[in-house]
């Protein structure tokens, strides 16, 4: 019998650690045969202890290869030239990529057959295998990274008094039926590769200078909490008066900021590697995420509460954490929160991106105050009656908070209308003209 190595035939003189790679390669490609006890040149050597050989290969498959490959591998002892040979028949597996447990779903752990050679699979080849096996939904696919930690997620579950142990990892979709972490687990792990970036502009366009820029990484749970805290920081309170009655109104409805942020995180397409973007302007906040509308939906559907969730398991997990109430309610809540304001949020979508724009309810009031045309006319009075004044003078005259007074002053300093003098407690201002 003439033996020669091919794309579906491998010869091994004896059992070595590399045998695992050959089995994985055949299972990931088109299947094949491995003869143990035959040298590379086709010489039949034979095995002295066939029982030990069977035990070694069985243990190798069970302990070192993932997912479970035993149902696709058949072991037989055959006789060739009156010598005992181990014949290993490997079928193409139904759930590739198969990989070395100690190496993970990375090129150093995943192998394919190329001609008569066994070689590491490229990351693109690995992604293609995962997509073919696990389907289109990113969150359901096996994560290329398996060394994950969940400190932030565990902490958030604990605060909600919800158990998060091995059974919950399976039922929530953080692990698949083989005990392998999914991309959903990757997104919620401390090693999440995506970020939320927030930019604060000193004006109403991107040509304005930056006031602040932050990038938030870690688990999506961490990013969510940090991003919302920063949004709250820039959600100023505006005071207005009717006679003696004072009315406070934030720039943005709290529920609108919350729902827009959650919508942006839960519904984005994470197979793209870019960051989620939030831009804060004087007159609006923009939430920009990857992934257009899910096929079959339009803008009117969203406003009516019709929802087709791109990341169903993530949405279900956020629902369990009481972060969202029910599918499809977020967008209607955003629009409802602006009722009576004379302003409307704006939804925009392209093939690959989605944007929610929330208008600043107090922008025109801020602008009028800055221009000295408010019904209170406090800025003009303040500046005409005093040669110098402090931030405390602005607070008292305008009846606004410290942060609001600082913002009003900063805006006029930036425009060159006011000139600052001194530092710290000794800081005061004068008119430029």
User: What is the tens place of the pLDDT at every residue in 352-361?
Assistant: 889 999 999 9
Q: Return the bridge partners of 424, or none.
A: none
For residue range 4-48, list pLDDT tens digits in order: 899 999 999 999 999 999 999 999 999 999 999 999 999 999 999
Q: Is the model's pLDDT at 377 over the cut of 50? A: no
Contact 341, 253 (CB under 8 A): no
Asked if omega into 97 is within 30° of 0 (cis), the reply is yes
Query: What residue spans define the domains of the chain?
Result: 9-134, 196-359, 363-431
What is residue 327's predicted lDDT score, i.e. its pLDDT? 63
Conformation bin of residue 413: beta by default, left when phi > 0, alpha when psi is -120 to 50: alpha
Kindly indicate whether the domain formed by 9-134 is annotated with CATH number 3.30.950.30: yes
Q: Which helix (H) or strand (E) holds 286?
A: strand 284-290
The string of DSSP codes covering 27-75 is HHTT-EEEEETB-TTS-B---S-HHHHHHHHHHHHHHHEES--GGGEEE
What is residue 414's predicted lDDT score, i.e. its pLDDT? 80
Q: Which helix (H) or strand (E) holds 349?
A: strand 346-349
pLDDT, mean of residues 154-163:
96
What is residue 74's predicted lDDT score, i.e. its pLDDT? 95
The span from the CA of 264 to the CA of 379, in Å, is 39
Confidence of residue 350 (pLDDT cuts 50, 70, 90): confident
Average pLDDT, the chain: 87
What is residue 387's predicted lDDT score, i.e. its pLDDT? 74
Q: Is the model's pLDDT at 229 over the cut of 90? A: yes
The span from the CA of 420 to the CA of 388, in Å, is 10
Asked if omega into 42 is within 30° of 0 (cis), the reply is no
State CA 148 to chain mean position distance.
14
What is residue 417's predicted lDDT score, i.e. its pLDDT? 79
pLDDT, mean of residues 245-273:
89
Contact 330, 324 (CB under 8 A): yes
Nearest to 28 by CA among 107, 112, 89, 124: 112
Confidence of residue 385 (pLDDT cuts 50, 70, 90): low
**What fold is seen in the domain 196-359?**
Heat Shock Protein 90 (3.30.565)
Low-confidence winner among 150-164, 236-250, 333-347, 386-400 (lowest mean pLDDT): 236-250
Confidence of residue 112 (pLDDT cuts 50, 70, 90): very high
Q: Is the model's pLDDT at 147 over the cut of 80? A: yes
What is residue 314's predicted lDDT score, i.e. its pLDDT? 95
What is residue 195's predicted lDDT score, i.e. its pLDDT? 96
pLDDT, mean of residues 215-239:
93
Contact 233, 358 (CB under 8 A): no
* Residue range 363-431, CATH number: 1.10.10.10
pLDDT, mean of residues 126-132:
90
SS3 state at 141: coil
């Amino acid at each position: 019998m003439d033996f020669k190595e091919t794309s579906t035939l491998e010869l091994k003189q004896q059992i070595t650690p590399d045998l695992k790679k050959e089995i994985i390669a055949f299972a990931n490609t088109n299947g094949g045969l491995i003869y143990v006890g035959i040298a590379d040149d086709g010489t039949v050597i034979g095995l002295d202890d066939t029982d030990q050989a069977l035990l070694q290969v069985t243990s190798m498959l069970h302990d070192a290869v993932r997912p479970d490959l035993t149902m696709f591998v058949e072991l037989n002892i055959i006789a060739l030239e009156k010598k005992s040979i181990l014949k290993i028949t490997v079928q193409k597996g139904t759930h590739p990529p198969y990989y070395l447990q100690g190496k993970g779903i990375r090129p150093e752990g995943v192998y394919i057959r190329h001609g008569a050679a066994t070689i590491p699979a490229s990351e693109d080849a690995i992604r293609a295998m995962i997509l073919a096996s696990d389907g289109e939904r990113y969150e359901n696919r096996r994560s290329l990274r398996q060394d994950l930690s969940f400190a932030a997620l565990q902490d958030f579950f604990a605060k909600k008094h919800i158990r998060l142990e091995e059974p919950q990892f399976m039922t929530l979709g953080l692990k698949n039926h083989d005990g392998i972490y999914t991309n959903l687990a990757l997104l919620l792990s401390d090693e999440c590769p995506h970020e939320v970036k927030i930019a604060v502009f000193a004006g109403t366009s991107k040509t304005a200078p930056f006031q602040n820029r932050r990038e938030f990484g870690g688990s999506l749970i961490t990013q969510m909490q940090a991003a919302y805290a920063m949004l709250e920081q820039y959600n100023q309170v505006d005071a207005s008066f009717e006679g003696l009655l004072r009315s406070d109104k934030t720039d943005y409805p709290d529920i609108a900021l919350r729902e827009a942020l959650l919508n942006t995180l839960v519904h984005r397409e994470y197979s793209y590697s870019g960051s989620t973007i939030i831009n804060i302007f004087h007159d609006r906040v923009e939430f920009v995420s990857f992934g257009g509308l899910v096929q079959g939906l339009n803008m009117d559907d969203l406003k009516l509460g019709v929802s087709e969730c791109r990341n169903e398991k993530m949405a279900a997990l956020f629902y369990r954490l009481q972060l969202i109430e029910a599918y499809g309610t977020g967008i209607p809540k955003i629009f409802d929160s602006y009722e009576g304001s004379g302003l409307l949020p704006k939804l925009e979508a392209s093939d690959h991106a989605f944007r929610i724009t929330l208008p600043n309810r107090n922008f025109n009031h801020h602008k009028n105050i800055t221009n000295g045309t408010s019904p209170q006319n406090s800025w003009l009075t303040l500046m005409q009656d005093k040669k110098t004044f402090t931030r405390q003078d602005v607070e008292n005259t305008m009846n606004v908070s410290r942060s609001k007074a600082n913002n009003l002053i900063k805006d006029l300093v930036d425009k060159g209308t006011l000139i600052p003098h001194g530092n710290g407690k000794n800081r005061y201002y004068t008119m430029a003209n």
